[in-house]
């Protein structure tokens, strides 16, 4: 993992945190983001979106998913959201999988449920454990 990739992990973590500041229900936001064009662009090898900052990225997601973002639902704690966003981006760099595929393996509820166990682990170990949980459920 190079320095630029780690920076993008941090930006995505801060983006997820920002969704809590805006009181967007977390599971709804995560699903909308991970399946968005914005996430696809972040998954690409290089795209200008990668350097737009979390506020701009949030505006992009909200404007393209406005009717799918409900007003009801739990807003996760910011530390949980940061970790989820960070791990999802790290996962992409580690495996090359798309954001949408990552979400299918580890939806928001799975990430939230496993936060207490996995957030202190090395990201690679956490990702491998999350992939194993997915395989066992199949």
pLDDT digits (tens, 9 = 90+) for 65-113: 766 666 778 999 999 999 999 999 999 999 999 999 999 999 999 999 9
End-to-end, the C-alpha distance of the chain in Å comes to 30
> What's 35's DSSP letter?
T
Task: Specify the residue for token string 């459920």.
Answer: 137
Q: Which of 7, 44, 32, 12 lies closest to 107, judged by CA?
A: 32
Are the C-beta atoms of residues 32 and 68 closer than 8 Å to each other?
Answer: yes
> At residue 65, what are phi and psi to the nearest 5 degrees?
-120, 25
- Global pTM value: 0.90
């Amino acid at each position: 993992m190079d320095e630029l990739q780690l920076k993008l992990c941090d930006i995505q973590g801060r983006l997820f945190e920002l969704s809590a500041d805006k009181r967007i229900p977390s599971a709804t936001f995560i699903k909308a983001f991970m399946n968005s064009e914005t996430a696809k662009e972040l998954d690409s090898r290089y795209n200008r979106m990668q350097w737009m900052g979390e506020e701009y990225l949030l505006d992009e997601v909200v404007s393209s998913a406005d009717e799918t973002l409900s007003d009801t639902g739990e807003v996760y704690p910011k530390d949980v959201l940061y970790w989820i966003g960070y791990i999802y981006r790290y996962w992409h760099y580690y495996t090359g999988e798309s954001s949408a595929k990552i979400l299918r393996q580890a939806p928001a509820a799975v990430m939230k449920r496993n936060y207490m166990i996995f957030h202190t682990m090395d990201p690679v170990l956490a990702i491998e454990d999350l992939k194993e949980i997915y395989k066992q459920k199949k």
